[in-house]
Amino acid sequence: MQRCLTLTLAWHSRLLLRKQIASVRCHQSAAMSSLLINQPKYSWLKELGLSEDNLGVYNGSWGGSGEVVTSYCPANNEPIARVTQATLAEYEETVQKAREAWKVWADIPAPKRGEIVRQIGDALRKKIKVLGSLVSLEMGKIYVEGVGEVQEYVDVCDYAVGLSRMIGGPILPSERPGHALLEQWNPVGLVGIITAFNFPVAVYGWNNAIALTCGNVCLWKGAPTTPLTSVAVTKIVAEVLEQNNLPGAICSMTCGGADIGTAMAKDERVDLLSFTGSTHVGKHVAMMVQERFGRKLLELGGNNAIIVFEDADLNLVVPSAVFASVGTAGQRCTTTRRLILHESVHDKVVERVAKAYKQVRIGDPWDPSTLYGPLHTIQAVEQYLAAIEQAKQQGGTVVCGGKVMDRPGNYVEPTIITGLPHDAPIVHTETFVPILYVLKFNTEEEAFAWNNEVKQGLSSSIFTKDLGRVFRWMGPKGSDCGIVNVNIPTSGAEIGGAFGVHVLQDICSPLHLRLISAKKLRPWLSCENVSVATRTGGTGPTQNASFSGVSW
C-alpha cells in the first residue's frame, strides 16, 4: 500500500509538471498585448526605463541585434517583456570601447572614483523599491528579499567609497643602502563579470563597486533568464556616468547566452573574469581562463551543513534551520542543504522543523505575508522531482513536502528527507532546490568529517554551547569552508568579510576590519615592487524575510 501511494503521488506531481509545461508553452505563444509590462498592475516597470522591447547592449550607447529573448515571471510563467541580446560582433565592439574607457577611468584619483561609486549608490537608493519589485517579478524571490538585494549593492557602494581612500602598499626595508622599497597596487584593467539568476543585482554590485574603486572598468553579462534586471541596473549606473561626463563604457553590458560567456572567458583582453554560477559551468570557465593564463574569481557551489550538538539551544536551531533551508526557495549558494543532528536531539528537531515547514506561508512573492515563492524555472522543478526520486531510491524517507503544487507558476513544496547515509550520492549532490537532507551523528569527529567530505565547501554552521568545541570548529581541523558560523544559520554573509570556497586568502583572513578591507581589494589590483633611491633621511611617498507567525 505504501509503495502504491508513493507511486501515485509521484505520478500526480509529474502530471502537474506536464500541465505547467504545457501552460508555459501556451504563454510563450501568446500575443504581444499579453506582456505584463502592458498591464496597469505592472506599469511601474516603465519607471525603470523598460518597455516591451529592450536593447541588451550598452557601451556608452544602447544597441543589440542578436537573439530576442522573452523574460518570464516564475510566479505565473507569464511573459514580462523582451530583450535583444548581443551578437559576437557587438561584444567585440563593446570590449574595444571598454578598454578605451579604461584609459580615462584609470587616470582619475581613487577618491574621485569613490565619489562616482557613492553617486551610483545614491541613484540605487532612489529606485530601491521599484528595482526590488523587478527582482521579485523576474527572479521569483519574495519582495522583501528583492529590496534587500538592491540594498546590498547600495551597502557595497558605501563600503567601496571608504576603500577608495585606503588603497596603498607598505614601505618595506630595502637590503640596498639609500633605497626605499615600495609596494604599489595598480588596477588590472578590464573586469568581466558573469552573474547568476538567483542574485541578479547583488552579485554584480559586489564586483562592480570594488572594481570601479580600484580603477577598473567592467563588462557585465547577467543571467539569460533575468535580462530585464541587467538592463534596468545598467540604465541607473549609465545615467550617473553620463551626468559626470564620463564614458558610459566604463560600465558596459552585453546580454547573451553561452556564446558571450565563452567569448569573455577566452578573451585575453579581459584581465580578470569574475564568474558566479554552478560548479559544473564554473569548471569549464576556469579551464578556459586558465588556458590563457588569465585571472579569475569563481563563486560556485555550496552544499552547506548545519551541525546541531546535544547541548544546542533548540529555540535557536529550529528557526535558523528553517530560514536557511527554505529562504529564496532554496536557491541561495549559502542555503542549508544538510542538517546534521546529534542522535540525542534528532527526532525532536525533525519534528519541530517539520511543524514549522508546514506553517511557511507560500504564495505571491509581492504579498507582504509570503515567506516562500516559486522556483525560478520549470527546469528547476524537474530537478526537484528528480532529486526526490533519487533520494527515495537511495533509502531516504520524505517527512515533509515532496510534491509540485497545483497552482500557476513554478511552485514546489519545501521538503525534508531523513534516513539517508551521510555519503549517499544525492546528499553529496548540490541540487539548487528546497530539499533538506537530515543526517544523524554520534561524535564530534564524524560530524566535522561529514561537513567537510562534500566537494562544495562554502558556508557551514554549528549550534553548541561548548566553547572548546567552537574553537575546534574554527581551527585547522574544524570546518574547511570559507564561511564558518556558530549558532547562526549558513545563509548570508557580511559584505566586509571573506566570502569564498576553499580559498586560502579567504579562510585565513584575520578578524580585523582594516586587514579584511585590504584583502578585499587584492583581486582587483596588481602589485608592483618599486625600488626608489632616496637621500639618507629623506621621506617616502605619502534584509531577509521575517518568519513571524511561525511557531517553532
* Catalytic residue set: 299
Q: Write phi, then psi, for 417 (nearest 5 degrees).
A: -125, 130
Which residues are registered as beta bridge partners of 460?
305, 484
| Closest listed residue to residue 46, CA positions, set 269, 313, 272, 228 | 228
Q: How far apart are CA 79 and CA 411, in angstroms?
A: 17
**Tell me, what DSSP letter sits at residue 545?**
P
Instruction: Measure the CA–CA gap between 73 and 23, rounded to whole angstroms.
Output: 13
Neighbours of 155 (CB within 10 A): 18
Asked whether 324 and 302 are in contact (CB, 8 A), the reply is: no
Nearest Cα to Cα of residue 501 among 454, 447, 548? 454
3-state secondary structure of 522: helix
Considering Cα of 14, then 20, then 26, then 32, what sign does the dihedral take?
negative
Neighbours of 430 (CB within 10 A): 21
Q: CA nearest 100: which of 218, 219, 250?
A: 250
Please state, in angstroms and as integers, the Cα–Cα distance from residue 237 to each residue in 59, 114, 174, following that order. Answer: 12, 14, 44
Determine whether 287 is exposed, middle or buried from the number of CB atoms within 10 Å of its CB (0-12, 13-18, 19+).
exposed
Q: How is residue 523 annotated by DSSP?
A: G
516559486: which residue's cell? 374
Grid coordinates given for 128: 530601491
Collapsing DSSP to helix, strand or coil, 324 comes out as: helix
DSSP 508-520: T--S-HHHHHHHH
C-alpha cell at 57: 547592449
Closest CA to 498 of 479, 521, 478: 521
Dihedral of the CA atoms 181, 186, 188, 190 (nearest 10)?
-170
Cell of 20: 505547467
Q: Are 80 and 45 in contact (CB under 8 A)?
A: yes
Q: State the Cα–Cα distance between residues 247 and 549, nearest whole angstrom.
A: 50
Question: What are residue 221's DSSP bridge partners?
Answer: 194
